[in-house]
Amino acid sequence: MRRLHLAAGIGGVIAFLLTGQYMDRALDHMAGVPDLPRMLYRSAHIYLLLGSLLNLALGVYLTEASVGWRRVLGRIGSVAILLAPPLFVLAFISEPHRSDFHRPFAGPAIYACALGAVLHAVSAVRRGTRTGIPQL
């Protein structure tokens, strides 16, 4: 899983840089872009960075549980977080062209990041052997 997260993180950071260049060069620093599309472009761009950095951090630091429910939770969390950058790229490409504020890609990707982070946190908590206090 670490390699997948690392690849998704690096690929996502590259996509973040490319979306920034697109807004700078193709959209002329967003000058003259109406408020709603400008906000949707910028938010998808920043959310892409969020999902990419989350994957990058997991790619560097992830330690999976060996067996059991903690491993399953961690895997589900990883899948959720791995889905986020591609969804944010789709959000960047399609959502600014909508006439409404519906976010069919960014919304689920944000929830995937949150779900994945929570599942990884829960899977990392272990019971203390003597005190019964949860420890990381």
pLDDT at 38: 95
Entry pTM? 0.90
Query: Domain of 26?
Result: 2-135
For the chain, the domain total comes to 1
pLDDT at 112: 98
Q: Which residues in the chain come in under a pLDDT of 70?
A: 127-136
- Which element (helix H / strand E) includes 28? none
Separation of alpha carbons 44 and 96, rounded Å:
9
Q: Which candidate, 31, 21, 8, 20, places its Cα nearest to that of 87?
A: 8
pLDDT at 129: 45
What three-state secondary structure class fits 136?
coil
DSSP 23: I
pLDDT at 76: 97
pLDDT at 99: 84
Which residue type does 82 have?
Answer: L
DSSP letter string, 45-73: HHHHHHHHHHHHHHHHH----SSSHHHHH
DSSP 26: I
